[in-house]
Amino acid sequence: MAAIREQYPYLYETHLHTAESSACARSTGAEMARACKEYGYTGIFVTDHNWGGNTTVDRSLSWEEWTDRFEQGYLHAAEEGARIGLDVFYGYEAGYDGTEFLIYGVDSAWMKAHSQIRTATVEEQYRLIHEAGGLVIHAHPFREAGYIPDIRLYPQWVDGVEGVNATHSNSRSMAHNDPAFDQRAIAYAGQHGLPLTAGSDIHTTQLLGGGIAFRRRLRSARDYVQAVLNGEDYVLTNGEAWFDKAGNRIG
Ligand SMILES: [Zn+2]
Ligand SMILES: [Zn+2]
């Protein structure tokens, strides 16, 4: 484990919620940033639930206002991150009747200028996010839960698969515990040749420690997008175990 951390010192949380924008989250962006810095993360991606998911932001607001309110959790995390030395990147979790996707590489200004994303189908989302230079990752594709009526797969409309979701497989997780959800996601990604990612799906400062560790520090969310698409060397963790990019346990 220590040897893995030495080779891959730059750890990123790729799936994190804030109370400002996610109704199910308990801690603010600033609190999450402080906890993640303390844990040893180099950076975090704030991925609050969008209009199709468990958002706190009133869906009847104008698009302009909606996007402003939606990024509050990210902004508070980023402000605190700048103060304490944690890299904070914008992202979001897109919900389609319980099927969810993690979106990276776009920002609030892009959102504002592309209101068509609000009614986009899964296929249109992929095209739009790609035109913007972003990344679409299928979040926890095999999670079984009350809010997910069906497991629906879109291998042609995603860039990768969240193969390690710490809420499934970390022993300290308080929800959705079933490591088989991760095993199925890893097998699915392998069948389709899709890259794997890892994150904690964390909603409070009781961190699980999941994420992706790189050999180098990421410069931006776009840099992360390129690292995943270009097959850069990285390792995955659920905060307890470590996995290589194919999902094989290595520590
Ligand atoms: Zn949530
Ligand atoms: Zn989530």
The domains of the chain, with CATH numbers, are 2-243 (3.20.20.140)
Q: What residues have their beta carbon closer than 5 A to ion ligand 2?
A: 93, 201
Ligand 1 mean position, distance from CA 92 (Å): 11
Q: For residue 94, what are the β-bridge partners?
A: 101
**Rounded CA separation 3/20 (Å):** 37
Distance 106 CA to ligand 2 centre (A): 17
Can you read off the two tokens belonging to residue 196? 């794997």
Place of tokens 């249109």: 124
Residue 2 has what pLDDT?
79
Of 189, 209, 215, 211, the residue nearest 199 (C-alpha): 211
C-alpha 41 to ligand 2 mean position (Å) = 18
Q: What is the pLDDT of residues 3-57, one digit of tens each?
A: 999 999 999 999 999 999 999 999 999 999 999 999 999 999 999 999 999 999 9
Low-confidence ranges of the chain (pLDDT < 70): 1
Q: From CA 186, how far away is CA 201, in angstroms rounded?
A: 17
Ligand in closest contact with the CA of 200:
2
Q: What is the model's pLDDT at position 125? A: 98
pLDDT at 1: 67
Q: Which ligand is nearest the CA of 93, by number?
A: 2
Q: Residue 24 C-alpha to ligand 2 middle, in angstroms? A: 9
